[in-house]
Amino acid sequence: MYASPLSSPSTVSMASDAQNNPFIRNLASSDKKVRDEAFDSLRAYLGSQSHIAELDLLKLWKGLFYCLWMQDKPALQQRLSRELASLVSTLREPVVLPFLRAFWLTIAREWIHIEALRLDKYLYLIRQYVNASFQFLSRNKWKRETLKEWNKIVEEVPLESKDMKIPNGLRYHVLDVWADELEKVGGVEFEKDQEKAKEIVEIMVQPVETLAKEGRLKVLRVAAKECLADQRLRAWRGQEDEVVDEPEEEDEEAEWGGIDD
């Protein structure tokens, strides 16, 4: 479970640790040569591992999170986010899902510390990681068991339906980019083989379906239903009938999700 990894030291101390770490500082460098050398070292290390312990992955992602934190130039922020997402393609298959899980746990844990001025670069990073995840699933031929394992991670963290320790803002953004990034990765393939598309997408939307039905807050259920109503998802699923809004029952729990988002 994710309860323990979501506890976090102060942002100030962690940012200070990152600034004092020469490797993390080099990854965030504005000097392309310095940054490229640091990334080459990181890729070489990650690509050589067939197993990395959860704690080590969480420590790594803490550093990578603050690597992006330290980068202030917009163009370099986006480049760094793309480079961080490219790490997924260098990993050996047994490491990919644990690496992605550590990413989501880190984003969920640190979300409350992200100030408004820094939010856009993390939203862009999240979009890149949704895309990188779909790329991994595509490279693995959308295998049913891999899709189910990916769903477990999604249901545990970014689209978890009831635990308010998971920031609502994270949930909303993942729902917002879901169909866009899936179309970029699988859209052409899905258009060519509608039967295959239906089988794949029916599995992939299960975490969204769960959130739409079981989300603790009405606003979360509505956001999930809006995602499911996207015409691209509906077409891939073979749903040609019009979307009918279902009446919402009154929430037993308060709708306000706190100030974490």
**pLDDT tens-digit profile of 222-245?**
999 999 999 999 999 999 765 555
Residues sharing a CB contact under 8 Å with residue 253, sequence separation 6 or more, in sequence order: 216, 217
> Which of 92-103 are b and which e, b meaning 16 or more Cβ less than 10 Å from the residue's Cβ?
eeebbbbbbbbb
Question: What phi and psi, each to the nearest 5 degrees, are found at residue 71?
Answer: -90, 115
CA-based nearest residue to 15, from 119, 88, 114: 114
**pLDDT at residue 57 above 70?**
yes
Cβ atoms < 10 Å from Cβ of 2:
17
For the entire predicted model, the pTM comes to 0.86
Give me 25's structure tokens.
Answer: 């500082």
The pLDDT score that the predictor gives to residue 261 is 45
10 band by pLDDT with thresholds 50, 70 and 90:
very low
Round to whole Å and give the CA distance between 193 and 196: 5
**pLDDT at residue 258 above 80?**
no
Residue-wise pLDDT for 123-142, tens only, equals 999 999 999 999 999 999 99
Give me 71's structure tokens.
Answer: 């980068």
Q: What is the mean pLDDT of residues 148-154?
A: 98
Sequence letter at residue 236: W
71 band by pLDDT with thresholds 50, 70 and 90:
confident
**pLDDT at residue 50 above 60?**
yes
Eight-state DSSP code of residue 30: S
**pLDDT at residue 114 above 90?**
yes
Round to whole Å and give the CA distance between 216 and 202: 23
Round to whole Å and give the CA distance between 144 and 141: 9
Round to whole Å and give the CA distance between 38 and 26: 6
Residues sharing a CB contact under 8 Å with residue 45, sequence separation 6 or more, in sequence order: none
Lowest mean pLDDT among 69-73, 163-167, 193-197, 242-246: 242-246
